[in-house]
Amino acid sequence: MELQEEGVLLRVFIGELDKVAHQPMYEAIVHAAKEFGLAGATVWKGVEAFGAASRIHTTKILRLSEDLPVVIEIIDAEEKINGFMPQVNEMFKQAQCGGLVTMEKVKVIKYTAGEQAVRL
């Protein structure tokens, strides 16, 4: 798959406990992005955050059961990301959760699988 020099970074901020049809929402988004043919996706787990409800979510020892923040990052051409957005919106409806979705233009410097890449 090729990725043009100019692209868009889609970021989805949710909680790790958010679910879509009994599946973690971050997992559902990554799998849907792969099926949609997007260039790639990465999930990042945060150690502390707060959002619209102003509730702190943290990994501190006394709060290990808290709903930790998760960020999904997806980069591809703007047209493809825009085409994928209805699926993301539908997942938010199904999960009935809060979150934040942002998009920003990015300059892609390198996008390769590498010589050791394993194809699934």
What CATH code is carried by the domain that includes residue 63?
3.30.70.120
Q: Answer whether residue 115 is part of any domain.
A: no
The per-residue pLDDT of the chain, averaged, comes to 86
Q: What are the structure tokens assigned to 120, written together?
A: 């699934």
Q: Answer whether residue 116 is part of any domain.
A: no
Q: Answer whether residue 27 is part of any domain.
A: yes
Instruction: Give pLDDT, residue 120.
Output: 45
Q: Answer whether residue 120 is part of any domain.
A: no
For the full predicted model, state whether its pTM sits above 0.85: no
Range of the domain at 91: 6-107
Q: What are the structure tokens assigned to 58, written together?
A: 């943290």
Q: Which of 86 and 112 is assigned the larger pLDDT?
A: 86
Q: Answer whether residue 37 is part of any domain.
A: yes
Q: Which of 68 and 7 is assigned the larger pLDDT?
A: 7
Secondary element (H or E) of residue 43: strand 41-45
Return the amino acid letter for 38: L
49 CB-near residues (< 8 Å, 6+ apart): 56, 57, 68, 69
Q: Quote the number of domains for the chain.
A: 1
> What is residue 67's three-state secondary structure?
coil
Q: Answer whether residue 13 is part of any domain.
A: yes
Instruction: Give pLDDT, residue 117.
Output: 52
Give the span between the Cα atoms of 120 and 98, in whole angstroms: 33
